[in-house]
Amino acid sequence: MIINKFASFFSKAIPDWDPVPETHAQQYAESEWVIGANEVLLNELECWLGGFSGKKVLDLGGGPGQYSVAFAKRGALVTWHDISAAYAKIAEQKAEDHGVAIEFSIGYMDEALKLLKADYDLVFNRICWYYGFSDRSFSRTLFALIKPGGVGYVDTTHSGWHRESLSPAGQLKTWLNDCFSVKIGHPFPPHGRLAKLFLELPVEKMQIDYSTETNDRLLFRRSQVG
């Protein structure tokens, strides 16, 4: 936590700093937009929310915006938040192409509480959990952004995935985070940690999906109280 937070201070000192090269953003965006937002997931979220219409949705680490646009097309009031100006440009263009209005916010996911009002009906976090400063602190930040009674969704690769193919430095970082919760850089969280972290908080209901070998997927409702 301290180490990643410390590193973020240096990056902020560089004007127009973007950790994502434009070519990478374009390639990822192209592949994700071909796949598109998963309709089964959208329908499931819609059920949990009781409809998207008029609901406040935060796409935290929204990247190319395929989910932001899909939520907005279903009538949600969407905020896209991400560190990357390259992705913002792509997502803005996509929103325009699809004729939907989305609010754009650039910054660290961990600092979203400083920039946004913490009253979202849904906070959606897909394939970017590991960029958080630490698993514990980021779980608290994400949870605080959800309004009481609102819904959280997280889908992340876990540290069991391709662990053996990591560099020695990558393996060391993963081991430090897995065993001591010391996070340097962006190791994936250990399988099962996220569910435990959120279950320490006032959660009314949680759906845990470990059906793939690679990812932890959580869908939960924050209690009305607490």
In the complex, the residues that contact ligand SAM under the rule CB under 6 A are 20, 32, 61-64, 67, 82-84, 87, 108-109, 126-128, 131
Least distance CB 39 / ligand SAM (angstroms): 15
Chain residue whose CB lies nearest ligand SAM: 63
Nearer to ligand SAM by Cβ, of 104 and 131: the residue is 131
Least distance CB 224 / ligand SAM (angstroms): 28
Candidates 84, 61, 226; CA nearest to 150 is 226
Q: Which residue has the tokens 């992705």?
A: 87
Q: Which residue has the tokens 């920039």?
A: 115
Nearer to ligand SAM by Cβ, of 166 and 202: the residue is 166
Nearer to ligand SAM by Cβ, of 63 and 150: the residue is 63
Least distance CB 49 / ligand SAM (angstroms): 18
Least distance CB 195 / ligand SAM (angstroms): 20
Q: Which residue has the tokens 């973007």?
A: 18
Nearer to ligand SAM by Cβ, of 20 and 42: the residue is 20
- Residue 68 · residue 97 · CB < 8 Å: no
Neighbour count for residue 119 (Cβ, 10 Å) = 12
Q: How far apart are CA 141 and CA 173, in angstroms?
A: 22
Q: How far apart are CA 12 and CA 20, in angstroms?
A: 14
